[in-house]
Amino acid sequence: MNDFPGAPDESASALGGGRLRVLAAMSGGVDSAVAAARAAEAGHEVTGVHLALSSNPQSFRTGARGCCTLEDARDARRAADVIGIPFYVWDLAERFREDVIDDFVAEYAAGRTPNPCLRCNEKIKFAALLDKAVALGFDAVCTGHYAQIVTTAEGLRQLHRAVDPAKDQSYVLGVLDEDQLAHAMFPLGDTPKEQVRVEAERRGLAVAKKPDSHDICFIADGDTQGFLERRLGTRPGEIVDVDGTRLGEHSGAYGFTIGQRKGLKIGHPAADGKPRYVLDISPVDNRVTVGPVEALDVRALTGIRPRWCGPAPVGAAEYTAQLRAHGEPVPVAAEVVDGELRVELAEAARGIAPGQAVVLYQGTRVVGSATIATTSSDPALAR
């Protein structure tokens, strides 16, 4: 008899039947600890693993951030001891640096706005970690992500939104392909976050009240611009209006994001007195263009490197799309043309930047994702 609500139903039957060998990725936070506990209570043979993602963990965020510090590794070990499962620390620092940190810097240098959490899920937790787990004979990787896997009558595994919309993380999992979903386990997707904390306390897990992780784990002080400047150096350039009028200077175009309003320091009010926003970041001439908020409207976009959470769709179809991690879904029409995803939005969205991800949904099901390459106010771009 299970004493706790929300016990995972994606256990034996969903992954092929029987007792499974499960590798539980334990970040040191409350979510991954409860996920590991549920997998063990479901009767699986669970081993906990903490990923060491920095050669100098003290350079990562501290203060109970729940991700990648020495403190987090100790919290994960204590949780594994309470659950009663073996625990190991795996060093993936070099892979993390190459696939996440270096990619993050390169994307900003190219004038794009990446999502490092999405890249970490794709390259680390469900590529490097899963590949190693399968090679060692594990059947599944279990994480504390808030998402659900639903198995159809035909035996296909689909990725769906979590029941708690405020915690849903299906957006950052939209990079997972069919094979990765076949080896994934998300025990928390059917449970609101507050119930997870109550459950952690009942189980005697010391991380029950540990704050959630936020921001970017590898930027210790939270100063993204300072981090990029240390990596890329000072690169002075112009800030211009939409007509090319020079308004000021910047020390590096990588310090700006599409839709940014604060911190422009241009010192020249617009003729209409209204605030200006970052409209474009050009790495070629190191120029940042600002203008009125209406110029941020996006009605179409193209996405490259599409990845599908199941069979690739054929032809044009209607979906809802999520364009940022905590953004509201918008109705869209989309299709793949010559390997490129073309998306037409039913209503304008603002602040959409190249480098971010567009994730397509049908109802609660995640269809797939792509990296945004271009945006336009003209819906014809999607045709």
Positions of E strands within the chain: 21-25, 45-52, 87-91, 140-142, 147-151, 157-161, 184-185, 237-240, 246-250, 277-282, 287-291, 298-308, 317-322, 330-337, 340-349, 357-362, 365-376
Residue 202 identity (one-letter amino acid)? R
Partners of residue 344 on adjacent β-strands: 300, 333
d(CA 350, CA 282): 19
- Which candidate in 67, 68, 117, 120 is catalytic? 120
Is 67 marked active-site?
A: no
Our CA dihedral for 76, 31, 363, 307, rounded to 10 degrees, sits at -20
C-alpha to C-alpha distance for 247 and 238, rounded to whole angstroms: 8
* Neighbour-count burial for 150-189, b at 16+ CB within 10 Å, e otherwise: eeeeeeebbbbbbbbeebbbbbbbbbbebebbbbbbbbbb
Rounded Cα distance between 334 and 346, Å, is 11
Percentages of the chain per state (helix, strand, coil), in multiples of 5: 30, 30, 45
Which residue among 67, 68, 117, 217 is the active-site one?
217
Annotation says 120 is catalytic: yes
Which residues have a catalytic role annotated?
120, 217
